[in-house]
Structure 1
Amino acid sequence: MTSIDFIRSEEKKYHEYCYDNYKLFEAGSWLYKPVKTVIDLLHVFDDKDNVKVLDLGCGVGRNSIPIAEAIKQKNGKIVCVDLLDSALQKLREYSKEYMVEEVILTEKADIGNYEININEYDLIVAISSLEHVQSELMLDKAIQQMVNGTQNNGINCIIVNSEVTEVDVVTNKRLDALMEINLSTKDMMAKISSFYKGWEVLKSEVKPLEYNITRNGRTVLLKTNAISYVVRKK
């Protein structure tokens, strides 16, 4: 098993544990509420019909469901892409529960290989997903696809982790960070911003975060510098 295969196997176990043990929008995990940066963008499309949205690494719908609710009455559609069958199945169940199933289209794919049609979307979001592609080359490809797939005046919203560390809470032993792409904050910010020259920067922020996660029954403290980068195509 390669290191990437091992990381993906562990991440799959972690996410499926969360999806099985925590319900969407109920307290107890990061599934509790959508990302504020994403929700704050939705008013931009208040006066636009037929809004098209792409959620790369959608999971069970933490952001997709609220987006779908916001664009439902405007004949909007959101394409939700994830690699995990379990995530997409849960998303389809939640979309029925929240009565937005006609708005949501699911696709199984590795976002590093996902092909986006040129000038297709008004909004593309990638929340804690770009760091999970297989290589820096695939990261570059994914961001370029986002750039090419955005309509004029459309928005890209990226939240990506950098400088991730993991520590066993019981032993205080530093562990290998299970993240496919784990760049320095400076390098990740430079990489992302290089693709968006000429775009209007709506938000550029680095926020240190730390929280406990469960890996194979162990409590692990994960620390990261989370980069929020929101830009509009001019």
Structure 2
Amino acid sequence: MRAEEKRYHDQCYEQHKLFEAGSWLHKPVQTVMEVLPELIQTDGMRVLDLGSGVGRNTIPIAAYLKPFNGTVIAVDLLSSAIEGLRSYSREHQVHPYIEIVQSDIESYRIEADSFDAIIAVSTLEHLGSEDELKRKLAEIALGTKPGGILCIIMGTHIQETAIRTNEALDPMFEINMSTEAMNELLQHTYQGWETMKHLVKPLVFEISRGDEPVRLASDCITYVVRKPGL
């Protein structure tokens, strides 16, 4: 993760409280919540949340898994995210159902047939290279149980522009593929899986890079598929 992107997240976690209005932390991602009732409901379900942050999705997932005595494994690199997740999980009384792992996504090893669902929201863009992305997508495929669900939300064709000067900036993302190339990679990697949701939505919003306001534009790919095999 680039230093500026790390700084942006650190500032966001410091300035905004989870599930309160004023930032993208104010509610979980709707698509992630829609995935949960589609899971094959069994005792001891396991869900992997890659790039969990302070728990925007992790905590609602844990609440859903609680009656099943399930576990959500939350993986994030940033100390600010890990500390926030620990605090919020206790505040929301779901900490027994969350296993927290501090790690970059590349280093975190996903064992075969380990998870009923794998969630990766706005995180695969920060892998070190397209080769690492391909490797991790293949690892995710192996790590999903038969009948399990994969939910990827990822930005492509990312552009950053300084609002004050209208200057085009270098986007602070390690991977910035074209939308067409990313769609092709996903469809190739998960060929034969059931497509539950696949859409592309243009997004434009304002962020800060240090003290500078920046317009961030991208295509947002939402990709939800179920692994065959049951």
- In which range does the TM-score fall when normalised by the shorter chain? over 0.9
Specify the SS of the correspondent of 1:177: coil
Specify the SS of the correspondent of 2:95: coil
Unaligned runs of 5+ in 2: none
TM-score (norm 1): 0.95
1:81 is aligned with what amino acid? V
| Partner of residue 154, structure 1 | 148
1:112 matched to 2:102? no
How many residues are aligned here?
A: 228
Q: Deviations over 1:79-122 (max 9, x none)?
A: 00011111011001000000000000011111122211110000
The offset of 1:223, in angstroms, is: 0.3
Distance (Å, rounded) in 1 between the aligned partners of 2:211 and 2:42 = 47
Tell me if the contact between 2:55 and 2:85 (Cα under 8 Å) persists in the aligned partners: yes
| Partner of residue 95, structure 1 | 89
Distance (Å, rounded) in 2 between the aligned partners of 1:47 and 1:81 = 23
Distance (Å, rounded) in 1 between the aligned partners of 2:115 and 2:160 = 36
1:1-234 to 2 correspondences below 5 Å: 8-45=2-39, 47-234=41-228
RMSD value over aligned CA atoms? 1.0
Tell me if the contact between 1:114 and 1:142 (Cα under 8 Å) persists in the aligned partners: no
Q: Deviations over 1:37-60 (max 9, x none)?
A: 000111123743211000011111
TM-score (norm 2): 0.97
Distance (Å, rounded) in 1 between the aligned partners of 2:191 and 2:137 = 13
1:54 is aligned with what amino acid? L
Which stretch has the larger CA shift, 100-109 or 37-46?
37-46
1:212 is aligned with what amino acid? E
Tell me if the contact between 1:162 and 1:227 (Cα under 8 Å) persists in the aligned partners: yes
Q: Deviations over 1:123-171 (max 9, x none)?
A: 0000000010001111011111110001110000000100000111111
Tell me if the contact between 1:200 and 1:231 (Cα under 8 Å) persists in the aligned partners: yes
